[in-house]
DNA sequence: GAGGATACTTTACGCCATAAGGAGATCTGG
DNA sequence: CCAGATCTCCTTATGGCGTAAAGTATCCTC
């Protein structure tokens, strides 16, 4: 399932992403443009938000704007580039202010939760190729904000790069898991939790030797009461705590002191989650 | 860009994934099947490996087997389910033996590198929806192996789940970044390193205020001599080290002692990478 | 040898992105 | 005020896709 098609020309995307916000259009002949790149991007996001990535077609976007599919090609080179623009626009939702936090753990946690929520608001973003080289301004701004949050940890450049990659990918991955469980639940009309139960039951039926083949998986499942790879803010939170402990371990000087102050306390099983 | 289409029916996929390896086909009438699910999956992988996900069509797979596209539907419910099978089959390449390592860091590192390499061998896997709920035997086996490797760390169940999610998503994410850079480089005929340089140059041209807008990003870029979100085993290695430090921080008892023994030494900039 | 199940084919449908070319609006230079 | 250029948007067409429907040939069981 879930294919993604070819990339757009990164040159075109880059130009559109970074292009002058107010193109100097003095003395243009021809009829006045009834649309704009911005309007098309907004319409695309609206379609994708409402009906999912599969429903995002040039026709659908055009229709939402009262035009034909081909009208969009006056503004945008193609669908791939439109997706690049949509992706960056959605990331631009992230709050940009330099929020001051006492410690960098809280700052990074805040950053991660904002990104996580943004992905869940726009699940189609998770279908856009990660880490593809078309870097938009909003994406870079988000990365800059992460670097700002991490600055007090004073990591070495190499370690900083590793931490940034690990954090971003972790947020994206856990958001994808959650979004997917949600989507499946919504599609089948089953409640979130029941869905995993149904899947487990079916698995047990098909592979009766499951507990012997996967003893640790079975143990983990029964210990935490859910599917191991699944969803949920809880996995997000505890995973993030693990990650941040790793970052702290690389912070010079403070070493052992800065590690897991109260973030690790989140991992106690009695925490009231889904907040 | 890079869309992925709708999911396959998970029930059908599950049945095929876990179905009896030797279907009891006593007394079947009709002509003998000239194909098999396995052969179709192999052909699909061959097509995707050779020409990429975009080239993977039912027609192409059928052609490789000397059949029409429709012939495949005798064996497989549809393309989505075929992709599920391909994905799990590719994961089955991972070595399964219980390799004994002295410490769990080495064991997990080994696990991660194997997964990373598998993704790079089959970049199309990264286009298959991550964390979607169709869990195949090979995927679960890989997870079980990770749990085995992590066992000496003796993490709490919650923390273990977080660590598993973080590790898997990290490997996948960094592999995606590397695969994408490779793909772009291959498509344009530019060498891997020059490619990032070209992109940076173009960015600098489009956004002349780049250094002021993204000071930390600029600093990191010049400190490590590359794009921050990019590719490469180096980021993979150092990021993994950060992650493992976090895991170590959650290991009870040993606490400070077990953290970053020699894995962190990998983060020194003079290491000969791309091994 | 008849009848039915099965493998595979041909054809067709409705999507998709988008190339090509045309119609009408709106500007500039005369 | 009027070319002619230019630009938006349309209609049409092309070649792909996944797959539904129906036909044909093959092979088994009875």
DSSP letters, A207-260, are -TTHHHH-HHHHHHHHHHTS-TT--HHHHHHHHHHHHHHHHHHHSTTTTTTTS-
Last residue of a domain, one of B27, B57, B91: B91
Q: Give the DSSP H/E element, type plus range, for residue B243.
A: helix B233-250
User: In this structure, what CATH number is given to the domain that contains residue B181?
Assistant: 1.10.357.10
Q: Do both B132 and B83 map to the same domain?
A: no
In a domain, residue A53? The reply is yes
Same domain, B82 and B118: no
Q: Are B81 and B13 in contact (CB under 8 A)?
A: yes
At B19, which CATH number? 1.10.10.60
Are A147 and A245 in the same domain? yes
Q: Do B3 and A56 touch (CB under 8 A)?
A: yes
| Lowest mean pLDDT across A60-74, A119-133, A136-150, A180-194 | A180-194
Residue A14 C-alpha, separation from nearest chain B C-alpha, in angstroms: 8
Structural domain harbouring B157: 104-262
Q: Note whether residue A74 is domain-resident.
A: yes
Do residues B81 and B133 share a domain?
no
Give the separation between CA B6 and CA B132, rounded to whole angstroms: 11
Q: Note whether B161 and B67 are same-domain residues.
A: no
- Residues B43 and B179 occupy one common structural domain: no
Claim to verify: residue B80 and residue B176 sit in the same structural domain: no
Which of A91, A125, A156 delimits the end of a domain?
Answer: A91
Residue A145 and residue A74 share a domain: no
Q: What is the pLDDT of residue B195?
A: 66
pLDDT at position A43 over 50: yes
Interval A114-120 mean pLDDT: 96
Give the CA dihedral B214, B215, B220, B225, nearest 10 degrees: 80
Q: Which site among A222, A249, A256, A273 would you substitute to test the B interface, given the most B Cβ atoms closer than 10 Å to its Cβ?
A: A249
Mean pLDDT of the A224-249 span: 80
Q: Are residues B170 and B201 in the same domain?
A: yes
Cα-only R_g, chain A: 22
Name the domain boundary from B91, B125, B152: B91
Residue B203 belongs to a domain: yes
Which 198-237 residues of chain B touch chain A by CB within 8 A? 199, 202-203, 206-207, 213-217, 220, 223-224, 227-230, 234-237
The reply to whether A74 Cβ lies less than 7 angstroms from strand C is no
Residue A99 counted as domain residue: no
Burial status of residue A218 (CB atoms within 10 A of its CB: 0-12, 13-18, 19 or more)? middle
Token pair in block for residue A63: 């229709």
| Position A68 pLDDT exceeds 80 | yes
Residue B178 counted as domain residue: yes
The answer on pLDDT for A275 being more than 70 is: no
Q: Which residues of chain B have pLDDT under 50?
A: 1-8, 131, 228-230, 255-275
> Which residues from A are below 8 Å from B187, CB to CB?
7
Q: What is the pLDDT of residue B31?
A: 84
**Is the residue at B97 inside a domain?**
no
Tell me if A272 is assigned to some domain. no
Phi/psi at B122 (5° precision): -130, 70
Average pLDDT over residues A82-91: 95
Contact B144 A217 (CB under 8 A): yes
% of chain A at pLDDT higher than 70: 74
Q: How does pLDDT run across B100-114, given as a tens digit for each residue?
A: 777 899 999 999 999
Helix axes B37-51, B79-91, angle to 10 degrees: 80
Domain-located, residue A96: no
Taking the C-alpha atoms of residue A269 and residue A272, their distance in angstroms, rounded to an integer, is: 9
The pLDDT-based confidence of A15 (bands split at 50, 70, 90) is: confident
Instruction: Say whether both B181 and B206 belong to one domain.
Output: yes
> Do B10 and B70 fall into the same domain?
yes
pLDDT at A268 over 70: no
Rounded CA–C1' distance between A74 and C28, in angstroms: 22
Number of structural domains, chain A? 2
Q: What residue of A is the nearest CA neighbor of B260?
A: A249
Average pLDDT over residues A222-230: 61
Q: When comparing pLDDT for B273 and A192, which is higher?
A: A192
Predicted confidence band of residue A25 (pLDDT cuts 50, 70, 90): low
Residues B25 and B140 in one domain: no
Q: Check pLDDT > 60 for residue A274.
A: no
pLDDT tier, A10 (very low <50, low <70, confident <90, very high otherwise): low
The pLDDT, as a whole number, for residue A121 is 96
Overall pTM surpassing 0.75 (yes/no): yes
């Amino acid at each position: 399932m879930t294919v993604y098609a070819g990339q757009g020309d990164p040159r075109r995307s880059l130009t559109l992403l970074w292009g002058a916000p107010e193109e100097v259009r003095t003395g243009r002949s021809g009829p006045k443009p009834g649309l704009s790149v911005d309007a098309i991007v907004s319409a695309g996001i609206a379609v994708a938000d409402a009906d999912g990535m599969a429903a995002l077609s040039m026709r659908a976007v055009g229709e939402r704007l009262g035009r034909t599919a081909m009208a969009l090609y006056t503004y945008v080179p193609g669908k791939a580039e439109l997706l690049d623009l949509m992706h960056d626009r959605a990331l631009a939702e992230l709050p940009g202010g330099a929020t001051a936090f006492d410690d960098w753990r809280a700052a990074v946690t805040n950053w991660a939760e904002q990104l996580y929520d943004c992905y869940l608001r726009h699940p189609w973003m998770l279908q856009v190729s990660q880490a593809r080289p078309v870097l938009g301004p909003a994406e870079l701004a988000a990365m800059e904000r992460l670097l700002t949050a991490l600055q007090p940890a004073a990591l070495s450049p190499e370690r900083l790069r590793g931490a940034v990659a690990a954090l971003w990918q972790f947020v994206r991955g856990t958001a994808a898991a959650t979004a997917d469980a949600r989507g499946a639940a919504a599609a089948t009309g089953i409640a979130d939790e029941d869905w995993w139960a149904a899947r487990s039951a079916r698995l047990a039926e098909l592979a009766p030797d499951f507990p012997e083949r996967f003893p640790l998986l079975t143990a983990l499942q029964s210990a935490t009461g859910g599917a191991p790879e699944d969803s949920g803010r809880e996995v997000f939170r505890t995973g993030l705590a693990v990650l941040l402990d790793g970052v702290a371990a690389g912070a010079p000087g403070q070493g052992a002191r800065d590690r897991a102050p109260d973030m690790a306390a989140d991992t106690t099983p009695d925490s009231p989650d889904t907040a």
